[in-house]
Structure 1
């Protein structure tokens, strides 16, 4: 029997247990960053296994299995990057919590993709490359595989550095680079590429101008009125009607292609009818909600909160309906070419391929989306419900205008451009008020120009990072795609 003091034994045991608990805590903390990539990897593997169930595991069908895995990887990256543009303003304005935004966006994105997702995609995305210039279905399959891998890698890199980029332009760049590597420069439809390049400038500028105009209207007609509540009762139902009409036209034009084909004139009529109905319904609701509210800006934020949440959900639905093909378009083309050997026709996206896209976007949003949501919502400029509402409204209206003009625009560029537009308008408006208030003051009491420069309301570092990412997205994805195509061709050839 040991003569050691029992108290010493207990003290030693307590110290050992404490060390073990600290080790467990450290292990848990160190492994936490690996949870999200682990879940993402599991989904990618399941997508490949699911494709194997449909196609078997023959040598050619292994290509489809690999393409399904990369399609899932692309969808995850779209969820991590692109969806932030829809939910970021609502979160930044404190109209939604991060968790609420992720749940709403996941449901709306999946519903948009599965219920109204585009059912037909050109085999060589949007006429960028001439199909007759491609030598064979094998060449086409490897070109599409390279486009899929390169665009997914580029969007992943952009998410990692915190830059919201266009997944549409990433896919376009991927198809361009693989097409040039496979069929030469002459195979590229350069007029189409010219339109896409023009959209780099037109999309964000148009989105920013529309958002700034709506913010100027809200400031003039509501915020700076003596009786803010009376002004809100008059104009908030009008703004909600405009929002409802814009989204109805947007969804009719872009999100219902699977159900029925609607031209621009019909979509505008649907939008006008929906907007009028929304005004009739909203006016008494706003009047009732505003009763007893104090005559200050905080009350106005409450009135804009619910419309902002609804607009964010509608944007996510439309995004899922319109952009899911970015993830699964090249995958659908590979599946079609593998099954039928035909790569010059229109391709119907199979349901199981659409499911990979929809669930991949939701997983990407849930696992990696908060970083870009914070960037768009609060790190570019400060948003409140009125400013965020202008961003959402601008996104819907700008897409309709661009469709009317026949321009291939990016929802990412429009939404982020609208955030910048709101921020730069606030800077201009603040500068104007400072100059006006300084009139008649002695020079020593005026704010120095250096101090005014420090009070910028848009973070220039984020502005330059995002603009640089936008400019290099297509060439970077194209170069990466060309390199991947040549590597794949060397390995399988």
Structure 2
């Protein structure tokens, strides 16, 4: 009997040891997982530099282009980690998409937007922020663009680390401005353009929030609080789908198809009306079929908004890839042009390999580091469901169109996050209104101040962090850029 007992003890001891080894392996994997992302990102940056070396290795100034390509790849990774969360966050927060599904859709749509519809001509100095003729020579201009690339990437990286969604376009603007001031003084900055950008900091999130809140009010009044919710949904959801598709058709016509064809705003609006009408006609029988057998309650309505929300998120990502990627890699295109021709220009063609770096860099950044900001936008500011997230996506597209009509340079980040805040604050106001009506109906009902604060539906700490990051984005990127330009100009001369 001693033999079998000893055998059982040995196997029991071995199981314990294997379990300990398994726990050590799991802990090691958990600790090393962040390092894998950093390693893949570093490998992509090195590959981008090597690709530039293959293309320009035998040419004069190739070292500058190689370094700029690596910085452009670093910037693109940070765009994917931070900016893309604004498009996918609401859909993930509303559980219309899983995190994995959102990352796959965003990576494909962002890359397609950049490569298929990305503008082949871009303002390399971010919409006239500085006057390139004020630079002493092309070498100074190249250093300024290098400083702008590095500083904007560093700032977006820091913002991602602290969990603040910021505008990558505004980061580039701040970087270009700071380098321009360091190179040629304050007179080189187009302060009128800077004033318009500062104005957009206020207008775009407010407009996005108001439009999102307005659509949420409409959905509550016309669908959610109707006696027969399903009948109301059959009437109004196709209308909302038509508005969404018409808005995105106009949006993409104005902002996303510049490389294929140039369309003015009136023509784009006509295209939007036609597409919206066709989508309304096509979606009405689908919604009627989908709503059959649903219970007459608000939870059933989420099913009807799921697919439109996923489509809107994909279209937002496509449009973002077509526009913001070109703006981010603009300084890289400017460096390539200045190095090749010995001169600088306000507008240059973006080489295909530069757009490839931008497209793939965004995909890598989104896959490796994007989930943190997606969760922040989608669930940590306020609670979203498909109806609320749909309002955010629709308000983003409408706000961009209105801003284009007004001639305002806006940030998709500010608009989308402003829409999330607008939905959250509207819910607070609506909840307080209903609580007040209940309290008046029952005079004995009183709610303590502490309980009212607890019932706030928007997290104030995230609100203050994000607004503070927005306010300091341009000056912070400008200060970093000025310092980088000073180091470059003194180390390389």
What is the TM-score with the length of structure 1 in the denominator?
Answer: 0.96
Verify: 1:453 aligned to 2:482, yes or no: no
CA root-mean-square deviation:
1.7
- Distance in 2 (CA, whole Å) between partners of 1:24 and 1:392 is 42
Q: 1:228 to 1:7 in 2, by over 3 A?
A: closer
Cα deviation, residue 446, structure 1: 2.0
- Distance in 2 (CA, whole Å) between partners of 1:88 and 1:231 is 28
Corresponding position of 1:265: 266
- Distance in 2 (CA, whole Å) between partners of 1:395 and 1:7 is 66
Cα deviation, residue 468, structure 1: 0.1
- Distance in 1 (CA, whole Å) between partners of 2:208 and 2:308 is 19
- Distance in 1 (CA, whole Å) between partners of 2:28 and 2:262 is 55
- Distance in 2 (CA, whole Å) between partners of 1:453 and 1:8 is 59
SS in structure 2 at match of 1:126: coil
Residues 320-374 of structure 1 show CA distances to partners (whole Å, capped at 9, x for unaligned) of: 0011013311101100111111202420000000000000001100000000000
Cα deviation, residue 25, structure 1: 3.8
Alignment of 1:227-306 (within 5 A): 227-306=228-307
Alignment of 1:185-224 (within 5 A): 185-224=186-225
SS in structure 2 at match of 1:295: coil
Q: 1:138 to 1:446 in 2, by over 3 A?
A: same
- Distance in 1 (CA, whole Å) between partners of 2:490 and 2:236 is 64
Larger deviation: 325-334 or 215-224? 325-334
Corresponding position of 1:491: 491
- Distance in 1 (CA, whole Å) between partners of 2:117 and 2:183 is 33
SS in structure 1 at match of 2:426: helix
Verify: 1:92 aligned to 2:93, yes or no: yes
Residues 421-449 of structure 1 show CA distances to partners (whole Å, capped at 9, x for unaligned) of: 00000000000000001114234x32223
Cα contact 1:94–1:385 (8 A) shared by 2:
yes
- Distance in 2 (CA, whole Å) between partners of 1:482 and 1:472 is 15
Cα deviation, residue 44, structure 1: 0.6
Cα deviation, residue 298, structure 1: 1.3
Cα contact 1:165–1:469 (8 A) shared by 2:
yes
Q: 1:288 to 1:140 in 2, by over 3 A?
A: same
Cα contact 1:123–1:343 (8 A) shared by 2:
no
Cα deviation, residue 26, structure 1: 3.6
Corresponding position of 2:120: 119
Cα contact 1:72–1:327 (8 A) shared by 2:
no
Structure 1 spans left out of the alignment, 5+ residues = none
Cα contact 2:148–2:331 (8 A) shared by 1:
yes
SS in structure 2 at match of 1:121: strand
SS in structure 1 at match of 2:122: strand
Corresponding position of 1:352: 353
Cα contact 2:126–2:327 (8 A) shared by 1:
no
Q: 1:377 to 1:345 in 2, by over 3 A?
A: closer
Q: 1:23 to 1:214 in 2, by over 3 A?
A: closer
Cα deviation, residue 12, structure 1: 8.0
- Distance in 2 (CA, whole Å) between partners of 1:365 and 1:210 is 28
What count of residue pairs does the alignment treat as equivalent?
488
Q: 1:296 to 1:56 in 2, by over 3 A?
A: same
Cα deviation, residue 293, structure 1: 1.1
- Distance in 1 (CA, whole Å) between partners of 2:441 and 2:11 is 79
Structure 2 spans left out of the alignment, 5+ residues = 1-5
What is the TM-score with the length of structure 2 in the denominator?
Answer: 0.96
Residues 34-72 of structure 1 show CA distances to partners (whole Å, capped at 9, x for unaligned) of: 011110111110000011111016661111001001100
